[in-house]
């Protein structure tokens, strides 16, 4: 028997790390076993001991292993690729490489490999970066140097390759808008893996290398966004810090600020929000505002700042940040001259964020005023660009109507939200609608509410 099994069985290690009892683990696996179509699975606590005993351990059948892998967030392909119990070691994978690799070109490639790997399915829904970790990351980013030229035995590549990646990433962003994060997450990570391979194996000039790092940063940022939208906060944080590393290699502060803005969104939006951590990330980005070339990125940073302050219940600072966002946008340049990735930032988006800010601060009437402005301004929010975002904002608008006792307005707006979410995969959107339905359930005695709940059950 191998040393790793003699020391401690991987399943026992997994249970310890996750704080699960044998019975709890078996119940989870049995439920998933049934959900996956494998039928009922007996839950007997002695199963774990039979699987993990040092001498003559039993091996669970493949359906049981597949159900267990799904519970642990491990790709089912690994069950077939690695014998029991060795695939369980993937559930013990730590994050050291991503957080502690040096901020050098080699360290960035190591982090990209770790974050974009095939088996990286981290479904933890909680934040994993501590306040100290965030501070250390910001300090490292502030002093990191851009990547130099690189010579290897691999083929010489030039700017045309980076152009192709830019085009592919543009398409992935719009696919995310149309289809949702679940469909695009794997594609974004695959793009990151391909770029990382070129960074490691090809020969390129300093300019091309820095452009490839910028592409890696955007692929990682998009993967982080998809992970966040799928409810995987831990994975999102790892992708965003990796995006920040790659952005440092590109020498582009704007790319780094973009990664920090999206990371801040994860911090304040979590089920256990950390608005202070979000504000630290935003402040870290704004410290380099003189080197942020995109007015829309600055606008986005102030939007995120407003939302973080609203979660922290600081209205004065929150509304000041909204004013700063509008001012930054007004100082901007035409959309076709700004970053392609910032196509979604306009005045209507600022007003939608302002409405969400007001709602978090307990001012539903002000929220409705902002929601109306987002739709009626001469530079309005465009619902056709992203049905998922529109659905989430409509759900929040329905919350505002509900808070004011306007049941007709709440139900009519909620119905529009439900209609838009159809066909778009987004855990974030689904959870928003679930929360709204929960609030409406308290008023199901009212016919219009009861009918809506029945029709959308």
Q: Does residue 120 carry a pLDDT above 80?
A: no
- Asked if 343 contacts 170 with a C-beta cutoff of 8 angstroms, the reply is no
Same-domain status, 101 and 237? yes
Give residue 96's pLDDT: 77
Q: Does residue 3 carry a pLDDT above 50?
A: no
Mean pLDDT value across residues 339-345: 95
Is 114 within the bounds of a domain?
yes
51, 67, 92 — which closes off a domain? 92
Is 440 within the bounds of a domain?
no
329: CB partners within 8 A, 6+ apart: 295, 296, 299, 345, 346, 347, 350
Report pTM.
0.80
Same-domain status, 88 and 129? no
**pLDDT tens digit string along 128-175?**
788 889 999 999 999 999 999 999 888 999 999 999 999 999 999 999
Same-domain status, 109 and 235? yes
Give residue 423's pLDDT: 67
Same-domain status, 136 and 216? yes
Query: Domain span at residue 27?
Result: 3-92
User: Residue 119: pLDDT band by 50, 70, 90 thresholds?
Assistant: very low
Same-domain status, 105 and 245? yes
* Burial class of 156 by CB neighbour count within 10 A (0 to 12, 13 to 18, 19+): exposed
Give residue 121's pLDDT: 55
**pLDDT tens digit string along 437-452?**
999 999 999 999 999 9
| Closest CA relative to residue 209, chosen from 161, 154, 253, 254 | 161
**pLDDT tens digit string along 369-388?**
999 999 999 999 999 888 89
371: CB partners within 8 A, 6+ apart: 351, 352, 355, 393, 396, 397, 400
251, 267, 299 — which closes off a domain? 251
Is 301 within the bounds of a domain?
no
What's the first-to-final CA gap in the chain, in angstroms? 53
In the chain, pLDDT over 90 holds for what percent of residues? 75
Q: What phi and psi, each to the nearest 5 degrees, are found at residue 149?
A: -60, 155
Q: What share of the chain is helix, strand, coil (3-state, %, to 5)?
A: 70, 0, 25
Mean pLDDT value across residues 425-431: 88
User: Residue 7: pLDDT band by 50, 70, 90 thresholds?
Assistant: very low
201, 218, 251 — which closes off a domain? 251
Give residue 152's pLDDT: 86
Same-domain status, 226 and 121? yes
Same-domain status, 68 and 176? no
Give residue 93's pLDDT: 64
Report the mean per-residue pLDDT for the chain.
92
Q: Does residue 225 carry a pLDDT above 90?
A: yes
Rounded Cα gap, residues 444 and 451, in angstroms: 8
Rounded Cα gap, residues 110 and 200, in angstroms: 10
Residue 287 corresponds to which tokens in the numbers above? 């410290």
**pLDDT tens digit string along 168-222?**
999 999 999 988 898 899 999 999 999 999 999 999 999 999 999 999 999 999 9
For the four alpha carbons of 415, 417, 421 and 427, in that order, the dihedral sign comes to negative
Same-domain status, 16 and 82? yes
Rounded Cα gap, residues 263 and 240, in angstroms: 6
Q: Does residue 317 carry a pLDDT above 50?
A: yes
Same-domain status, 143 and 202? yes
Rounded Cα gap, residues 144 and 314, in angstroms: 33
Domain count, the chain: 2
Is 273 within the bounds of a domain?
no
């Amino acid at each position: 028997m191998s040393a790793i099994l003699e020391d401690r069985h991987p399943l026992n290690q997994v249970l310890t790390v996750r704080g699960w009892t044998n019975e709890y683990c078996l119940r989870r696996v049995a439920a998933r076993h049934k959900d996956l179509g494998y039928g009922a699975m007996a839950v007997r606590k002695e199963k774990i001991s039979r699987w993990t005993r040092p001498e003559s351990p039993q091996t669970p059948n493949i359906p049981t292993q597949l159900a267990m892998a799904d519970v642990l967030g491990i790709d089912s392909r690994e069950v077939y690729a690695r014998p029991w119990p060795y695939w369980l070691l993937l559930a013990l994978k730590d994050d050291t490489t991503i957080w502690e690799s040096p901020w050098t070109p080699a360290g960035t490639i190591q982090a990209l490999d770790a974050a974009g790997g095939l088996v990286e399915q981290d479904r933890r829904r909680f934040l994993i970066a501590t306040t100290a970790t965030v501070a250390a990351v910001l300090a490292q980013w502030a002093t990191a140097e851009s990547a130099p030229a690189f010579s290897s035995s691999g083929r010489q590549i030039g700017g045309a390759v980076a152009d192709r990646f830019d085009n592919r990433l543009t398409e992935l962003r719009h696919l995310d808008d149309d289809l949702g994060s679940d469909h695009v997450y794997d594609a974004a990570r695959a793009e990151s893996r391909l770029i990382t391979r070129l960074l490691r194996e090809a020969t390129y000039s300093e300019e091309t290398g820095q452009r490839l790092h910028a592409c890696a940063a955007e692929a990682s940022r998009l993967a982080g966004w998809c992970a966040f939208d799928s409810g995987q906060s831990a994975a999102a944080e790892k992708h965003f810090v990796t995006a920040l590393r790659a952005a440092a290699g590109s020498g582009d502060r704007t790319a780094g600020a973009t990664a920090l803005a999206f990371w801040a969104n994860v911090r304040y939006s979590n089920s256990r929000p950390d608005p202070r951590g979000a504000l630290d990330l935003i402040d870290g980005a704004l410290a380099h505002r003189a080197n942020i070339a995109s007015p829309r990125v600055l606008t986005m940073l102030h939007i995120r700042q407003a939302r973080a302050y609203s979660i922290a219940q600081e209205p004065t600072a929150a509304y000041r940040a909204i004013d700063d966002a509008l001012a930054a946008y007004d100082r901007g340049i035409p959309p076709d001259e700004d970053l392609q990735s910032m196509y979604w930032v306009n005045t209507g988006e600022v007003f939608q964020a302002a409405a969400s800010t007001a709602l978090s601060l307990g001012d539903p009437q002000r929220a409705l005023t902002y929601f109306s402005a987002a739709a009626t301004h001469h530079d309005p929010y465009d619902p056709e660009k992203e049905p998922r975002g529109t659905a989430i904002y409509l759900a929040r608008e329905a919350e505002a109507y509900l808070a004011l006792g306007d049941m007709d307005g709440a139900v009519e707006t909620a119905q529009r939200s439900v209609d838009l979410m159809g066909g778009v995969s987004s855990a974030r959107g689904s959870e928003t609608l679930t929360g709204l339905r929960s609030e409406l359930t308290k008023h199901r005695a009212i016919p219009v509410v009861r009918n809506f709940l029945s029709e959308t059950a």
